[in-house]
A and B are shown apart, each in its own frame.
Chain A
Amino acid sequence: DAKTTQPTSMDCAEGRAANLPCNHSTISGNEYVYWYRQIHSQGPQYIIHGLKNNETNEMASLIITEDRKSSTLILPHATLRDTAVYYCIVRALSGGGADGLTFGKGTHLIIQP
């Protein structure tokens, strides 16, 4: 799996958009970008994933650069409950295989009231 680089920590004001960057310059053509988050003392939670097009769901938006070497997760209106460690992971889609996720250090996002 391609390696990712994320800032160690970030702050964001409540109600503002939180933009979390991720670099994955060695991503392969068949690898997707996944985002998970882990709220303190809970299991990781899936947020969103994408290949090359921008994606949006009820939780977040994912913006992937045209060269696919970096991406940004956007939480449009951050709340205190969004304080968590956010993991950016790149890997090939599972279908047919069962490899687990390899977690990096992630970004600790702190939402300030």
Chain B
Amino acid sequence: DAMVIQNPRYQVTQFGKPVTLSCSQTLNHNVMYWYQQKSSQAPKLLFHYYDKDFNNEADTPDNFQSRRPNTSFCFLDIRSPGLGDAAMYLCATSRTDRAWGGYTFGSGTRLTVV
């Protein structure tokens, strides 16, 4: 089945140590998104790639970066994780060449900072 896959499901990193989360998709969607979801809160959009164009949300900290080497893969880099960055990170995709406007989410990576 076509899907959005996030690896790993659980990631533990040390305070201040760079960490990368990955997302891949087999849907051939041209837009990929990263959301942050802290405990008991709604998902919050960090940024998205529209094809190769990177679009950052205004309040996303500089500590968060993203890379999209090709259509299928997108990475979230946290340069210096702090305790406040512990959260579930969700990847999502959508397509803009068809008007249905739906989004497909991965299962998320739960990041713990120690």
Q: Is the CB of B108 within 8 A of A100?
A: no
Name A residues whose Cβ lies closer than 8 Å to a Cβ of B: 32, 34, 36, 38, 41-46, 49, 87, 91, 93-98, 100-106
Q: How many A-B residue pairs have CB under 8 A?
A: 70
Binding site of B, secondary structure by majority: helix, strand, loop or mixed?
Answer: strand
Asked if B101 is an interface residue, CB under 8 A from chain A, the answer is yes
Residues of B in contact, count (CB < 8 Å): 31
Q: Which residues of A contact B98 (CB under 8 A)?
A: 95
Scan B21-40; emit 1 where CB is below 8 A from any A CB, else 0. 00000000011010100000
Question: Which A residues touch B102, using CB under 8 A?
Answer: 34, 46, 49
Residues in B neighbouring A101, C-beta threshold 8 A: 43, 45, 92, 103
Decide yes or no whether B75 CB sits under 8 A from chain A.
Answer: no
- Residue on A nearest B9 in the bound complex, by CB: A41
